[in-house]
Amino acid sequence: MNPTKRNILAVMAAGTWINASEFFRNEVLIKDLWAEHYRSLGLAFPSAPVNGMLWMLWGFVFAAMILAVSRRFDLLQTTLICWLMAFVLMWIVIWNLLVMPAGLLTFALPLSLLEVFIAAYLCMKLSPPCAATC
């Protein structure tokens, strides 16, 4: 398989994993936490289809960024760099906007690290950097 097809396959696999992981965490494990926190702020939790589509786009863009970072760094470095850039920065923003529910990090921290690790692993396995295959 040529490198372009491997890259597309890696992004599709990692993006699918990221979106499945995000859905499980946010819709199954902690949806009530989100909804209750938003209610306490007098807001409705944004769960319209357009919100879901934007999060799916986020997941595939994130997968592409993981693939790009994985070209220059090993698995653990890629995981930490991408996790810090996507999740830690997002948590700072939602905390600053006062929309981060208390207790979120109990679930989100370990599961997001696992999410990024597996996505980076998929990218590296399905489309290894040229140095490993050339």
Please work out, in degrees rounded to the nearest 5, the angle formed at the alpha carbon of residue 64 by the alpha carbons of 8 and 130: 65
Q: What is the pLDDT of residues 35-94, one digit of tens each?
A: 999 999 999 999 899 999 999 999 999 999 999 999 999 999 999 999 999 999 999 999
Q: Between 130 and 46, whose confidence is greater?
A: 46
- The structural domain count of the chain equals 1
Decide if 41 is inside a domain.
Answer: yes
Q: At what angle do helices 3-23 and 104-126 cross, to 10 degrees?
A: 160
Host domain of residue 95 = 3-125
Decide if 45 is inside a domain.
Answer: yes
Decide if 132 is inside a domain.
Answer: no
Which of 70, 52, 85 lies closest to 119 in space, CA to CA? 70
Decide if 92 is inside a domain.
Answer: yes
Q: What is the pLDDT of residues 100-128, one digit of tens each?
A: 998 899 999 999 999 999 999 999 999 99
> From residue 58, how far is each of 42, 46, 51 by CA, in Å?
26, 16, 10
Q: What is the pLDDT of residues 6-41, one digit of tens each?
A: 999 999 999 999 999 999 999 999 999 999 999 999
Decide if 105 is inside a domain.
Answer: yes
Task: Say what the pLDDT of residue 1 is.
Answer: 85
Assess whether pLDDT exceeds 70 at residue 132: no
Contact status, residue 95 vs residue 33, Cβ threshold 8 Å = no
